[in-house]
Amino acid sequence: MADHFDGSLLHLANRDITLAVVSRAPLAEIDAFKKRMGWKFQWVSSYGSDFNFDYHVSFTPEEKSRGEVYYNYVMDKFPREEGPGFSVFAKDAAGEIFHTYST
């Protein structure tokens, strides 16, 4: 999917929207992969933080051992320790940020 992100950046910017991609890998690994692929979109690291766990796209061994994890708003079996996710945030005139949507 990431091969298509760069083409959308101009269209998003014209609507005052920013795209940022988050991965749990260390930033050096992300930057090397991004360079090899020729991608320009903003890609940041959540390495060492709870970000992916907070948005229920990464799962602890304890969660996995229960047989079901909370993913995409339901408890279900999930075959991996991580899954894809898309989240949308909005910032109001006062600068407050709101999580408005995830899938």
Global pTM value: 0.84
- Return d(Cα 55, Cα 75) in angstroms, integer: 14
- Return d(Cα 13, Cα 66) in angstroms, integer: 42
Query: By C-alpha distance, which of 29, 37, 7 is closest to 19?
Result: 7
Say what the pLDDT of residue 18 is.
95
Task: Tell me the pLDDT of the chain (103 aa) as tens digits.
Answer: 899 999 999 999 999 999 999 999 999 999 999 999 999 999 999 999 999 999 999 999 999 999 999 999 999 999 999 999 999 999 999 999 999 999 9
Say what the pLDDT of residue 19 is.
96
Say what the pLDDT of residue 30 is.
98
Give the ranges where the chain is alpha helix by DSSP (H).
5-13, 27-37, 51-54, 61-65
- Return d(Cα 44, Cα 16) in angstroms, integer: 20
In this structure, are strands 87-91 and 97-102 parallel, antiparallel, or unpaired? Answer: antiparallel
